Structure 1
């Protein structure tokens, strides 16, 4: 009885909870994109197993590739940037009805892919393509307002992502597997470049703060080599000019080596008792491994392009995103930045997913079994986030 009498059913309280979800971009995009990734991967697994006959725009393989990159990853990046820009500038970022409209645009883009026989191709492409440039405009406004030019670099990055997305859609309209591969690989390496830039900015700080150890100072030359070599790897992926495979491989090897040295200097061994930090470190080691595999794929058939790509997508992106959205969601809602036991299991699950997805074909002859196992592990990882963080992301800040 006492509990019932203490419940606050006031209109003001209900309105506050309703508005909280669209208070900042991280709330809807982190939650909905994570849920979408689970649905999309379960559908992909069902299609491969012959349990689901889904007529999607671009075909099932194109749809899987596009939606994990331009549906899931792009939404997380936008959610992160549109949240971070408020901290960078002190100017209120997109929120309320404007944010709700942006989220709706993203959701409609995901839904239209399921109706290629009903909705015109040009409309499906247009709605999906517009998400990133509109997000770029929302990001640019507070940056330009306070003239914080250093962070303006994220605007061209979002616009290049838009060009990659346009190319992906063009590969459907004028069918071309080569164009699709080029566009998707470009997106993978562009996101990798963003992770390298952001990693250098925040990983040493997160490590020092989370482990109470001395912060590792950057070596300027190493930082330049790591970023420039990754940028060169991105440029050659555009296939604008034909570059010999050996040259491609050398560029990837240099980038991988630079990131190995960078990651080693950040001392993963001091983070083993701090899941929100060691998960970030492991994601960065996946960047180095993925670039190494890209180089090896240029020279030998023992390593495939798919293995290299999935080391960067499932390993680097999947792990870093899960760790970062967990950290950001806690910090921006006034909670202690400490991983629960559930999220620690989730981090272990996502790392296990990349091991199975990338190397499982060496151990299992059944390709579908490898995919299914990896999808189950991804579902455990991101399902844990969705369930645990649903109340955190949909309710007002803990300190309010």
Structure 2
């Protein structure tokens, strides 16, 4: 067994290693290409055009890579069955990389779409197999979410092929909303425990009724938004629903006691990401308020895209950075103490979220500078992560264990 371990490169020891590293690097490159193309600094004509590519790749390229790394690492802890590694992991990584390259260079549609669409089913197989083997069916709840994300990707490709950009974008947004459900489920599982352990305080037990209300209400919003049904519902109803769910999510987040985490970067960064969830829902409720009662609105109109970017850059990107920083240390046998410069990365990505959303909403005339500032802050945050965590993710565990 030890000989097999020694022959497997550390980078391929567990799924978090390559997907965190390549996913983080890819996100910085993708944002750089997007902002350079937007500013006219280079001619970039990827699959579907630069706007579709940017939206698609930040969800199905970047976010899906990190979700894959996290879930295919966590499933080993859940089941006790060794996670995907070595040659099998290399093939899965190659499929992801091949799809990213094909889309970027605008390879023939059949090649680009096929490579891209094969990835999530492969991940689902790797996730479901060990869970089914030991009949731990409660952890199969992530499988239908990933399946629906695959459907969203399929819709985006088919709609793009038919020239229906609105539906193509709906497929991408739909998948992003499903990640909200993943975050909501994981939040209740990990944040109270991480907070107690990291801050050396008593763990806050979940209130069953609050957890059910959070999961059920969030699921309702997610299904309405992901499916496009929300477009058929009166704006006034959407306003009340989003405001209600924002309040429930905010109550839940407050119970996790952000204030005890201020001296622990791996904790306060995680709490910030979950705080962006109710803030995103609040901003979305304001969007619907201005649609339902335009004469009552005294503020600039909040576009749907602005609210979604608070989800993308605020909740998702912050949680991803915080979780990668923690999981990479823990699963490589290192103390849960990040390099001091990671605090700058955490602050940068949080500021990027506010710059791209709240500031652009309140100062639309400064959109050009705010977009460029957002891109700079994102590249800074994930660039720091790539540099600091490169040796962590490419070298063996400090304790000599596999993984």
Superposition TM-score, scaled by structure 1 size? 0.94
In the alignment, the residues of structure 1 paired with residue 57 and residue 251 of structure 2 have an alpha-carbon distance, to the nearest angstrom, of 33
Question: Which residue of 2 is the match for residue 5 of structure 1?
Answer: none
Question: Which residue of 1 is the match for residue 100 of structure 2?
Answer: 110
- 1:239 deviation in Å? 2.2
In the alignment, the residues of structure 2 paired with residue 114 and residue 268 of structure 1 have an alpha-carbon distance, to the nearest angstrom, of 40
In the alignment, the residues of structure 2 paired with residue 151 and residue 120 of structure 1 have an alpha-carbon distance, to the nearest angstrom, of 37
Question: Which residue of 1 is the match for residue 113 of structure 2?
Answer: 125
Question: Which residue of 2 is the match for residue 327 of structure 1?
Answer: 326
Question: Which residue of 2 is the match for residue 341 of structure 1?
Answer: 340
1:239 aligned residue (209, 217, 228)? 228
Superposition TM-score, scaled by structure 2 size? 0.93
How many residues get paired? 386
- For residues 68-217 of structure 1, what are the structure 2 equivalents within 5 Å? 68-116=58-106, 119-217=107-205
In the alignment, the residues of structure 1 paired with residue 108 and residue 233 of structure 2 have an alpha-carbon distance, to the nearest angstrom, of 38
In the alignment, the residues of structure 1 paired with residue 101 and residue 343 of structure 2 have an alpha-carbon distance, to the nearest angstrom, of 32
In the alignment, the residues of structure 1 paired with residue 379 and residue 301 of structure 2 have an alpha-carbon distance, to the nearest angstrom, of 29
- For residues 298-337 of structure 1, what are the structure 2 equivalents within 5 Å? 298-300=288-290, 302-337=301-336
- 1:18 deviation in Å? 5.9
Question: Which residue of 2 is the match for residue 43 of structure 1?
Answer: 33
- 1:305 deviation in Å? 0.9
Residues 286-334 of structure 1: CA deviation (Å, up to 9, x unaligned): 0000011112212216211122111111011111000000100000000
Which blocks of at least 5 consecutive residues in structure 1 are unaligned? 1-11
In the alignment, the residues of structure 2 paired with residue 161 and residue 365 of structure 1 have an alpha-carbon distance, to the nearest angstrom, of 35
- 1:363 deviation in Å? 3.4
2:282 aligned residue (292, 295, 304)? 292
- 1:366 deviation in Å? 3.3
- 1:38 deviation in Å? 0.2
Could you list the runs of 4 or more consecutive aligned residues of structure 1 that deviate by over 3 angstroms after TM superposition? 15-18
In the alignment, the residues of structure 1 paired with residue 352 and residue 79 of structure 2 have an alpha-carbon distance, to the nearest angstrom, of 37
- 1:368 deviation in Å? 2.3
- 1:178 deviation in Å? 2.1
RMSD: 1.5
- 1:225 deviation in Å? 1.3
Closer/same/farther in 2, CA of residues 376 and 17 from structure 1, 3 Å limit: farther
- 1:114 deviation in Å? 2.6
Contact 2:12 2:89 in 1 (8 A): yes
Residues 27-51 of structure 1: CA deviation (Å, up to 9, x unaligned): 0000000000000000000011011
Closer/same/farther in 2, CA of residues 240 and 303 from structure 1, 3 Å limit: closer
Which blocks of at least 5 consecutive residues in structure 2 are unaligned? 291-299
Matched, 1:356 2:345: no
Residues 337-380 of structure 1: CA deviation (Å, up to 9, x unaligned): 11221111111111111111112222362322111101111111
Question: Which residue of 1 is the match for residue 373 of structure 2?
Answer: 373
In the alignment, the residues of structure 1 paired with residue 228 and residue 387 of structure 2 have an alpha-carbon distance, to the nearest angstrom, of 42
Contact 1:204 1:266 in 2 (8 A): yes
In the alignment, the residues of structure 2 paired with residue 131 and residue 68 of structure 1 have an alpha-carbon distance, to the nearest angstrom, of 15
Matched, 1:226 2:226: no
- 1:240 deviation in Å? 4.2
SS of 1:307's equivalent in the other structure is: helix
- 1:224 deviation in Å? 1.2
In the alignment, the residues of structure 1 paired with residue 183 and residue 220 of structure 2 have an alpha-carbon distance, to the nearest angstrom, of 15
SS of 1:203's equivalent in the other structure is: helix
Question: Which residue of 2 is the match for residue 399 of structure 1?
Answer: 399
Contact 2:180 2:222 in 1 (8 A): no
In the alignment, the residues of structure 2 paired with residue 377 and residue 349 of structure 1 have an alpha-carbon distance, to the nearest angstrom, of 5
Question: Which residue of 2 is the match for residue 387 of structure 1?
Answer: 387
In the alignment, the residues of structure 2 paired with residue 149 and residue 321 of structure 1 have an alpha-carbon distance, to the nearest angstrom, of 26
In the alignment, the residues of structure 2 paired with residue 254 and residue 305 of structure 1 have an alpha-carbon distance, to the nearest angstrom, of 18
Residues 185-237 of structure 1: CA deviation (Å, up to 9, x unaligned): 21221101110110011100000001011111111111111111111111211
